[in-house]
């Protein structure tokens, strides 16, 4: 089992990073091999909606996303972690998620080459917001959950927490436990 962690916060060592690391610990304890990608350390251009990938399955943009797409294809589960910035996901995570269009044809069905590797893949989400109400992240959860539903991936669920100061989430034992459990779930054998 391979579990890929995608960190969408530009703040290395921040709350989103802490939660993702905890989830990856859970996956590792469940026997998975884990890998983590920090989007802020990558160059990912925004989608241009040129639709060329709909025909070819290959993006015309030459940046780090091609390598990330390979890691996604190799993974059995992909866990995303992102803070709320102005009631939405960070620009790094949005650019990354928009570039998933490379996996689809013009009718939003998996490209034949990607279908066996993507359909049924597990996907989960961890979010952190400065608002005391973690439901502020609902629009982000909606984006990822609907991506899973539209594509036939397995939605593992989300962990939603509140924290502002860097590292503050370390004091939230419930969020840390939920992140660990999500990581274990991502690596668990299917029934």
Per-residue pLDDT tens digits for 1-49: 999 999 999 999 999 999 999 999 999 999 999 999 999 999 999 999 9
* CA–CA gap between residue 52 and residue 96 (Å, rounded): 17
At residue 101 the predicted structure's pLDDT band, cuts being 50, 70 and 90, is: very high
- The burial class, CB within 10 Å (0-12 / 13-18 / 19+), for 101 is middle
Give the model confidence (pLDDT) of 49-97 as tens digits: 999 998 899 999 999 999 999 999 999 999 999 999 999 999 999 999 9
Instruction: Examine the pLDDT at 98 and tell me if it is beyond 70.
Output: yes
| DSSP code per residue over 47-98 | P----HHHHHSS-S--STHHHHHHHHHH-SEEEEEEE-BTTB--HHHHHHHH
- Three-state DSSP state, 27: helix
Q: Residue 114: give its domain's CATH number.
A: 3.40.50.360
Contacts of 52 (CB under 8 A, 6+ apart): 58, 59, 60
The tally of domains found in the chain comes to 1
Contact 23, 182 (CB under 8 A): yes
Range of the domain at 71: 2-187
pLDDT of 191 over the 90 cut? no
Residue 21 pLDDT? 98
Q: What is the mean pLDDT of the chain?
A: 95
Residue 113 has pLDDT above 90, yes or no: no
| Backbone dihedral angles phi then psi of residue 135, each to the nearest 5 degrees | -70, -5
- What are the pLDDT digits (tens) for 127-176? 999 999 999 999 999 999 999 999 999 999 999 999 999 999 999 999 99
Q: How far apart are the C-alpha atoms of 97 and 163, rounded to whole Å?
A: 24
Is pLDDT above 90 for 119? no
């Amino acid at each position: 089992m391979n579990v890929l962690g995608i960190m969408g916060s530009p703040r290395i060592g921040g709350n989103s990073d802490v939660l993702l690391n905890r989830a990856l610990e859970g996956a590792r304890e469940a026997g998975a091999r884990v890998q983590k990608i920090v989007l802020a350390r990558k160059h990912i251009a925004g989608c241009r909606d040129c639709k060329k990938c709909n025909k070819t399955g290959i993006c015309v943009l030459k940046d780090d996303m091609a390598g990330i797409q390979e890691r996604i294809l190799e993974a059995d589960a992909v866990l995303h972690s992102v803070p709320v910035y102005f009631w939405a996901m960070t620009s790094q995570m949005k650019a990354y998620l928009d570039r998933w269009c490379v996996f689809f044809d013009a009718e939003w069905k998996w490209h034949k080459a990607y279908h066996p590797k993507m359909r049924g893949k597990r996907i989960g989400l961890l979010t952190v917001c400065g608002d005391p109400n973690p439901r502020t992240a609902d629009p982000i959860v909606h984006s990822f959950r609907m991506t899973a539903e539209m594509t036939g991936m397995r939605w593992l669920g989300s962990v939603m927490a509140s924290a502002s100061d860097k590292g503050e989430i370390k004091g939230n034992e419930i969020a840390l436990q939920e992140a660990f459990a999500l990581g274990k779930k991502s690596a668990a054998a299917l029934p």
